[in-house]
Amino acid sequence: MGKYEHYLNHQIFRAVSEAACETQLMACVVGGYVRDCFLDRGDKNDIDIAVVGSGIDFAHTVASKFSPVPEVQFFKNFGTAMFTHNNRKIEFVGARKESYRNDSRKPLVEDGTLEDDQKRRDFTINAMAFDLRKSTFGELIDPFEGMKDLEDKIIRTPLDPDITFSDDPLRMMRAIRFASQLDFTIEPACYEAISRNFARLGIVSMERVVDELNLIILSKKPSGGFRMLDETGLLTLIFPELLELKGVETIDGKGHKDNFYHTLAVLDNVAGTSDNLWLRWSALLHDIAKPATKKFIQGTGWTFHAHDFKGSKMVAKIFRRLKLPLNEKMKFVEKMVLLHLRPIVLAEDSVTDSAVRRLLYEAGDDVDDLMLLCEADITSKNQVKVKNFLENFEVVRRKLVEIEEKDKLRNWKPPVTGDLIMRTFGIPPSRLVGEIKEVITEAILEGQIPNDYEAAFQLMLDEGKKHGLTTVSK
């Protein structure tokens, strides 16, 4: 055994080994755990055990080796069982031959050999197994040359790819996900099969598709994955809005940049500075409303007026369709899309205190992420332009720190609340309350009054007076 030996040095593998000895069954660890041992990607928390026999009975035998005995969950129809041990999910499956009906993911299952089980897996690199029987413990069982493909960095299916993908169309996404995540190449026959069969992804639930999409987005250089999604046709099914960004139109000899490739470049740039999935989603969506706002104006050229505002309004619809969470993560993306031009405008103009104050107020704690997105958005080939922008961003960053220290505007709430306004003037909730509050907020952000309670209270009194209000209490 090689340097991966320690990955098999776990109680769970010893327990499986003993159970295999007792039951006289062939048992092994198979799939992603084996692949990751060779990639030295660390201990995976999901362990798949295959046994030539009943997976459910075998899971119970293995579980009985531990004290206390973990609860075994099992799924009779699939012949699978699982329990958790030391925070790891241990799954058991009886080796099977499997085939799927064309219109459904529900498999028809018969007992099979270990090789039957291996060949119905998605890729050769995921079809390797380590024998866990005592006499042959740790021997690699690799009938489809997964090891060679791992060394050559190739994604290949053990069977004819048309069969593998029709068994489970999600595997087309997985092929691209692994290629993007591991920086592997998809073997040409396999790639062509994806291009032929891409439409079958339509029968897979959006949640599973988007889990894979998120892994592509989280890879080191996500643009590679997106180019493959585009080339094979999969992107048309998942994310048509992104494809709308493609292409360059020219009028009077003036073209605009191709916003699809620009978006991918921004995504790669963000991936270079942040692991935050939602910031990466913000990069993907930052220009999403450009097609809807595009106009050619004589004398000015191409404009995409208010694409930031309109884009932020598109986020919820896209999230809903993609079954992404409709919670504060989505709100974060909406905010990033809405504000993505602001630091650029600041960097272009002279950086005034009030503009910085306003940005701090609106971006709150997300201002650092916003700066990362804006820096990533500079994809011009003109190096002088890029240098100027980045230098100006440095000025903006310095100002942000300076003004934050002085005014503490991150997560700031105006010192006078709507409730106080209503109590002071004895008025019910109304538009006027909001208007007075807005005047106070604006005055502080513009630096017309200091950011403190006394000044804000005084301004409230003055504003009330203007509207004919009188004080009933303090």
Interface residue list for ligand CTP (CB under 6 A): 31-32, 46, 48, 121-122, 126-127, 168, 170-171, 174
Which of 210, 400 has the CB closer to ligand CTP?
Answer: 210
- Supply the minimum distance, in Å, between the C-beta of residue 186 and ligand CTP: 15
Strand runs (DSSP E) across 234-279, as ranges? 250-251, 254-255
Which of 96, 121 has the CB closer to ligand CTP?
Answer: 121
Burial-class residue 397 by CB neighbours within 10 Å (0-12, 13-18, 19+). middle
Residues ≥6 apart with Cβ < 8 Å to 469: 425, 427
Which of 181, 282 has the CB closer to ligand CTP?
Answer: 181
- Supply the minimum distance, in Å, between the C-beta of residue 158 and ligand CTP: 9
Quote the CA–CA distance of 14 and 4 in Å, as a whole number: 16
- Supply the minimum distance, in Å, between the C-beta of residue 106 and ligand CTP: 14
SS3 at position 2? coil
DSSP 141: E
Helix residue ranges per DSSP H, 168-245: 170-182, 188-197, 206-217, 222-232, 234-238, 240-243
Cα 165–chain centre separation:
24
Which of 126, 180 has the CB closer to ligand CTP?
Answer: 126
- Other CB atoms within a 10 A radius of the CB of residue 9 amount to 9
- Supply the minimum distance, in Å, between the C-beta of residue 9 and ligand CTP: 20
Which of 59, 359 has the CB closer to ligand CTP?
Answer: 59
> DSSP for 332-353?
HHHHHHHHTTHHHHHHHS---H
- Supply the minimum distance, in Å, between the C-beta of residue 100 and ligand CTP: 11
Which of 228, 460 has the CB closer to ligand CTP?
Answer: 228
- Other CB atoms within a 10 A radius of the CB of residue 112 amount to 17
Which of 212, 377 has the CB closer to ligand CTP?
Answer: 212
Quote the CA–CA distance of 12 and 29 in Å, as a whole number: 10
Cα 415–chain centre separation:
37
Which of 80, 451 has the CB closer to ligand CTP?
Answer: 80
- Supply the minimum distance, in Å, between the C-beta of residue 211 and ligand CTP: 8
- Supply the minimum distance, in Å, between the C-beta of residue 121 and ligand CTP: 4
SS3 at position 310? helix
Which residue is closest to ligand CTP by CB?
Answer: 32
- Supply the minimum distance, in Å, between the C-beta of residue 453 and ligand CTP: 54
- Supply the minimum distance, in Å, between the C-beta of residue 185 and ligand CTP: 18
Quote the CA–CA distance of 108 and 101 in Å, as a whole number: 8
Which of 120, 262 has the CB closer to ligand CTP?
Answer: 120
Nearest-CA neighbor of 45 among 55, 62, 33? 33
Decide: 236 and 191 in contact? Cβ < 8 Å: no
Quote the CA–CA distance of 349 and 319 in Å, as a whole number: 34
- Supply the minimum distance, in Å, between the C-beta of residue 127 and ligand CTP: 6
- Supply the minimum distance, in Å, between the C-beta of residue 64 and ligand CTP: 25
User: What's the token pair of residue 204?
Assistant: 């897979």
Which of 46, 183 has the CB closer to ligand CTP?
Answer: 46
Check whether the bond before 143 is cis (ω within 30° of 0).
Answer: no
Which of 144, 332 has the CB closer to ligand CTP?
Answer: 144
Helix residue ranges per DSSP H, 26-160: 32-39, 55-63, 114-119, 146-152
User: What's the token pair of residue 435?
Assistant: 């208007």
Cα 383–chain centre separation:
30
